[in-house]
Amino acid sequence: MLRRCAAERVRAEQDGPDRRRADPLRSGRRGSGPLRAWAALAVVLLWSVAGQAQVPAATSGPPPAAGPAGTIAIAYLGFTEPAHVALSALEIPPAEDGLQGARLALRDNQTTGRFLKQSYVLDETVAHDAAGVLAAFHALAASGHTLFVTDLPAPILLQLVDLPEAKADTFLDATSTADSLRAEGCRANVLHLLPSDAMRADALMQYLTVKQWRNLLLVVGKTEADRAYADALRRSARKFRMKLVDDKPWTFDPGARRTDTGHFAIANEVARFTQGLSYDVLLVADTTGEFGDELSYRTTEPRPVMGTAGLVPTAWQFPFEEWGATQLQLRFQKVAHRWMTERDFGAWMAVRAIGEAATRSASTDAAALAGFLHGKDFQLAAFKGVSLTFRPWDGQLRQPVLLMDTQSLVSVSPQPGFLHPDSELDTLGIDQPETKCHKP
């Protein structure tokens, strides 16, 4: 019967535009009652088939069988970072940075979950200090939460996961890049989503090796995070046999940078800082953005700036469009009314990882999801061209690292030619033989 209806539609198309205009199914006018009845029946049958289909969205491999009905509860623990002095008074921090990425991932999980009779809830808490974070955790744990997505500084995250009552919970560190959390400070129940400082440094050094820019000048900011990032750059420079021409702290404080002549003082200081040195690249470790963006175009010799400014190794940035990333960028912009930041992307990956574990394991049990996240079968599609997996030795998510300036994607590491016996992604960061992670 359906074939007969389809045949009549084909004949109508072949009869030309006049016949199509007279077709009551296309014009909406009454007539041809039997044909309309067959079409209605076809729509009902197709709707019934679609309602029974259980095909999860954007997942790799064969679709799993539907799991038991249930709700997966995810707790989001955020922290309000102290405000820092921006280079420009016009620089406005993004609203709900990180949290908006988690919300978009929740929507994505719900889309897939509808086919599998799974639903998700996200309980959001953003605290202003360590005490507030710990109090929020106790309240969330008392309500039954065991899956936590965290947007916390490394010291506060360690305070949290070392609580006796947190030992059996699973924490997805969405935003911290500290190498210490993947080394002596690693914990068995913590997984890390964003690339570590070591991965970022190696991504940059691989690119410099390909370009044969081997003489480096390093400038380091004042904060502890700046010094940690600089340590990662030094380690990577040794690993790839680069030469550090000089390693200097940045001490200049241009207090009058917004006056009519402020740019003169900055230009003179950068020129003096780099004068008399022969190098190929100026590396900068300035994690708070205090001075790094003011180095380009002001050096004595014309040299590129890389690190936390200039060419930046990152997991995500606004201009990135490859491997389908455009659709994620646009979906995020539609719901958040701004572009996705790296923190947003880290939180999106964390919540999506839980959703992918639920889809692949066909389970809503928190303990089963935690086991799947730590297992060898877990994979995450995150618009990076390859499936992403967690390293078993330190809980770090393997992933390509983007090398970007403010307007374009320059390259992606691992660079071609850097090989590894297991995964080329393990050429970035701390490999298993050199890890200092001994999970308690």
Q: What is the DSSP letter of 16?
A: -
Separation in Å, CA 350 to CA 25, 41, 149, 201: 48, 44, 6, 23
With bands split at pLDDT 50, 70 and 90, how would you rate the model's confidence at 90?
A: low
**Which residues are within 8 A (CB) of 40 and not within 5 positions of it... i.e. 6 or more apart?**
none
Q: What is the pLDDT of residue 257?
A: 60
Q: Which CATH class is domain 198-314?
A: alpha beta
- Decide if pLDDT at 7 tops 60: no
Mean pLDDT lowest for which of 170-184, 245-259, 330-344, 396-410?
245-259
- Decide if pLDDT at 25 tops 50: no
Mean pLDDT lowest for which of 85-94, 234-243, 300-309?
85-94
Tell me the pLDDT tens digit for each residue of 309-347.
999 999 999 999 999 999 999 999 999 999 999 999 999
Q: What is the pLDDT of residue 1?
A: 41
Tell me the pLDDT tens digit for each residue of 317-326.
999 999 999 9
Q: What is the pLDDT of residue 68?
A: 41
Q: Where in the chain is the domain with CATH 3.40.50.2300?
A: 70-195+321-399, 198-314
Name the CATH topology of 70-195+321-399. Rossmann fold (3.40.50)
With bands split at pLDDT 50, 70 and 90, how would you rate the model's confidence at 252?
A: confident
Quote the CA–CA distance of 434 and 227 in Å, as a whole number: 21
Decide: 117 and 150 in contact? Cβ < 8 Å.
Answer: no
Quote the CA–CA distance of 136 and 124 in Å, as a whole number: 10
Q: State what percent of residues in the chain have pLDDT above 90.
A: 75
Q: Which of 316, 273, 275 is nearest to 100 (CA)?
A: 316
Average pLDDT value for residue range 384-395: 97
Backbone φ and ψ of 154, nearest 5° = -55, -45
Q: What is the pLDDT of residue 263?
A: 79
- Decide if pLDDT at 303 tops 70: yes
By residue count, the chain amounts to 440
**Which residues are within 8 A (CB) of 205 and not within 5 positions of it... i.e. 6 or more apart?**
236, 237, 239, 240, 242
- Decide if pLDDT at 92 tops 70: yes
Q: What is the pLDDT of residue 83?
A: 63
- Decide if pLDDT at 400 tops 60: yes
Specify the pTM.
0.82
Quote the CA–CA distance of 266 and 436 in Å, as a whole number: 41
**Which residues are within 8 A (CB) of 164 and not within 5 positions of it... i.e. 6 or more apart?**
none
Average pLDDT value for residue range 383-396: 97
Comparing 56 with 361, which gets the higher pLDDT? 361
